[in-house]
Structure 1
Amino acid sequence: MNGPRPPPAVLHTPGFAHFSIAWSPFHTTRLALASSANFGLVGNGRLHLASVAPAPTGTLALTLDKQYETQDGLYDVAWSEVHENQLVTASGDGSIKLWDVMLNVGNLPIRAWQEHTREVFSVDWSNIKKDVFVSSSWDGNIKLWTPERPRSVLTLHGHNSCVYQAMFSPHQPDLVASCSTDGTLKIFDLRAPAYAPTNNTFTSPLSAAVLTIPASGTEILSVDWNKYRPFVLASAGVDKLAKVWDCRMIKLQETGNVGGACETQLLGHEYAVRKVQWSPHRPEVLATASYDMTCRVWNTVPAAGRPQLMYIHDPHTEFVVGCSWSLYDEGVLASCGWDSRLNVFRV
């Protein structure tokens, strides 16, 4: 945390607040950015495609390559794991859209789905079963999709309120973790008999999570799987804490719910933590983005006498709601916020 810091590469998109960033799993320098007008409250959205490259000064530089307009705000974006030029977006009108960035005819999506009845707040593509992705919505449902099908494959209804995020396990292809306004983390096993497909046009709402973690007394806004430790999750939310959970350490809570053991709590943000993401390069490193206008990097298992907090990135002038590690360049982190700025910097 000491010493001079090189300035971040910045991409400014006036009029559009950013909600989510995703690095391409195929192209080392390509990013996608989900954005909304009027802070996502009302109005249209925009999908930005950007690329980052070394600048002559030795720092990084960002370039806006392409953008797509949408009729409603965009809250999340995920790249396909099978097609290098395709990605899906989550929209405030309840729709999910599939885009091909090499097709310029009309700048329209190549497929759209409309099953969620409220805002779709997250999308995540499986990096094991590479032909499926999952969505979560304020309608309380989690849905499993494949691009070739006009309807969802499965519907999970394990929460009775808004599901802010649902994520595939990077280790087990049939495990999905979710977080909600109800203060719980849940893990679903898609192999469970309760999730057998039905003959209905739409898949029936299903429940029975295999594990429920009462993680907070307030809303949980984000969850992520550790990339190296198969049953370790991070969560964060309105209580201003990021927490690390070991789901193998099962214990009976006073409430009667079954949950995992909390390994550590990361205290330092001044307001709600909107996003957590584990490093794809180091098992102990976690990034967080917060409404306190900072993005922070933590060592969850520091050496004796060393602090957990490793780095604070604070050039943003509004809520920071997204962060994402580069998949190829260790130590490069992207952050985005309601100040209409995408920052890419080295930690």
Structure 2
Amino acid sequence: MNRPPPALLQTPGFAHYALKWSPFHGNRLVLASSANFGLVGNGRLHLVSLIPGPGGLPTIKLDKYFETQDGLYDVAWSEVHENQVVTASGDGSIRMWDIMLNDLAIAAWHEHTREVLSVDWSNVKKDTFASASWDGNIKVWTPDRPRSLLTLQAHSSCVYSALFSPHHPDILASCSTDGTVKIFDLRAPAYASNTNSYTKPLSAAALTVPASGSEVLSLDWNKYKTFTIACGGVDKTIKVWDCRMIKMGETGLVGGACETTLLGHEYAVKKVQWSPHHGDLLASASYDMTCRVWNTMPVAPVSQLVYIHDGHTEFVAGCAWSLYEEGFLASCGWDGRLALYRPI
């Protein structure tokens, strides 16, 4: 198959950690970026638009950027306001921006005590977003309140990501340095009715999946299969879990059946994302400087590995499928490069 060369945008001096497509406009993206590879220094929120171009791929245009005092590690679009995004910062803060305004954030929250690594806006309960932090906590927010709605003491160590289920408004999954994926039901009571006995704290996971013997850096819910989750991490593998296969353990429900293990990355897997258009198509970004596309349910003799993009020259930290244009995939990395291509 002859594919056109990727469309590229270079932003010198800033390493990209995450990118997100707008849920309202198919030609708009945002990038969360940090100076000095996120180790020290400022951050930037880049607003990018796509202009139709020849060969089936658009031209990428940098519209504007917002400066921050600390590095940015993640970004999420509002599901209720087309011009608003929230960012996760290295100073422990979460900020909301209106991309039609200039310079200053329109809201800020600072409850986390360590770096915020993940923000996710629920596309089911659209007035709610979640944050995950190096402090081991997940917090749930609504933009109208100055304080978080609740705090989950989710893991004993760094939480790399926390994502709402695309199928249920009160189900949330997280992954951590402890090698587990945990699923939380936000409807669970913290105390038994009409008693003073402590029965099930909200911080107790509804299900714990022992996903890896090392750190799990990323996870994503399948958009078509209700309790199917993919995760990737330091062990260089990607695993697909059926979270319906459970049993009772000493601290609650544990389990999850590993349906598929995807091998091929040479270093840690930093990001996984299921396609919004195909239930068996998964993209991954890795420290091996590649972004890969996988078919998780191939029919022999078709290979599970569908495509490799090796155009980055540093760690690939983010990847995301276009929500509107089937087959468009974007990736970003520490080389300050945003790439857009058609892997399928």
TM over 0.5: yes
Pairs within 5 Å for 1:229-244: 229-244=225-240
1:102 to 91, 100, 103: 100
Could you say what secondary structure the match of 1:194 adopts? coil
Deviates more, 1:112-121 or 1:302-311: 302-311
Pairs within 5 Å for 1:266-305: 266-305=262-301
**Preserved CA contact (<8 Å) 2:42 2:68:** yes
CA distance in 2, matches of 1:118, 1:100: 25
| Shift in Å, 1:75 | 0.2
**In structure 2, what is the equivalent of residue 41 of structure 1?**
39
Inter-CA distance 257–50: structure 2 relative to 1 (3 Å threshold):
same
**Preserved CA contact (<8 Å) 1:194 1:208:** no
CA distance in 1, matches of 2:108, 2:37: 23
**In structure 1, what is the equivalent of residue 205 of structure 2?**
209
Inter-CA distance 345–253: structure 2 relative to 1 (3 Å threshold):
farther
CA distance in 1, matches of 2:67, 2:191: 36
CA distance in 1, matches of 2:98, 2:277: 29
| Shift in Å, 1:304 | 2.0
CA distance in 1, matches of 2:61, 2:249: 50
1:55 aligns with 2:49: no
**In structure 2, what is the equivalent of residue 186 of structure 1?**
182
Quick one: which amino acid aligns to residue 321 of structure 1? A
2:241 to 227, 242, 245: 245
CA distance in 2, matches of 1:6, 1:254: 54
1:126 to 88, 101, 122: 122
| Shift in Å, 1:52 | 1.6
| Shift in Å, 1:255 | 11
CA distance in 1, matches of 2:151, 2:324: 33
CA distance in 2, matches of 1:9, 1:213: 38
| Shift in Å, 1:252 | 6.0
Could you say what secondary structure the match of 2:190 adopts? helix
**In structure 2, what is the equivalent of residue 200 of structure 1?**
none
Quick one: which amino acid aligns to residue 62 of structure 1? I
| Shift in Å, 1:15 | 0.3
**Preserved CA contact (<8 Å) 1:60 1:345:** no
| Shift in Å, 1:158 | 2.0
2:75 to 77, 91, 101: 77
**Preserved CA contact (<8 Å) 1:240 1:267:** yes
**Preserved CA contact (<8 Å) 1:164 1:180:** yes
CA distance in 2, matches of 1:315, 1:252: 46
**Preserved CA contact (<8 Å) 1:94 1:119:** yes
| Shift in Å, 1:54 | 2.5
Inter-CA distance 4–195: structure 2 relative to 1 (3 Å threshold):
farther
Could you say what secondary structure the match of 1:193 adopts? coil
Inter-CA distance 256–101: structure 2 relative to 1 (3 Å threshold):
closer
Inter-CA distance 184–309: structure 2 relative to 1 (3 Å threshold):
same
Q: Give aligned pairs, total.
A: 335
1:86-132 Cα offsets, whole Å, 9 max, x none, are: 0000000000000011122xx10000000000000000000011001
**Preserved CA contact (<8 Å) 1:154 1:195:** no
Quick one: which amino acid aligns to residue 44 of structure 1? N
| Shift in Å, 1:231 | 0.4
**In structure 2, what is the equivalent of residue 86 of structure 1?**
84
Q: Tell me the C-alpha RMSD between the 2 structures.
A: 1.7
Pairs within 5 Å for 1:4-19: 4-19=2-17
5+ residue gaps in structure 2? Answer: 193-200
Quick one: which amino acid aligns to residue 311 of structure 1? Y
**In structure 2, what is the equivalent of residue 177 of structure 1?**
173
Could you say what secondary structure the match of 2:82 adopts? coil
**Preserved CA contact (<8 Å) 1:237 1:273:** yes
CA distance in 1, matches of 2:313, 2:251: 40
After TM superposition, the score normalised by the length of structure 1 is: 0.94
1:325 aligns with 2:290: no
1:236-262 Cα offsets, whole Å, 9 max, x none, are: 000000100001111468999711000
Inter-CA distance 343–137: structure 2 relative to 1 (3 Å threshold):
same
1:312 aligns with 2:311: no
After TM superposition, the score normalised by the length of structure 2 is: 0.95
**In structure 1, what is the equivalent of residue 196 of structure 2?**
none
CA distance in 2, matches of 1:255, 1:122: 26
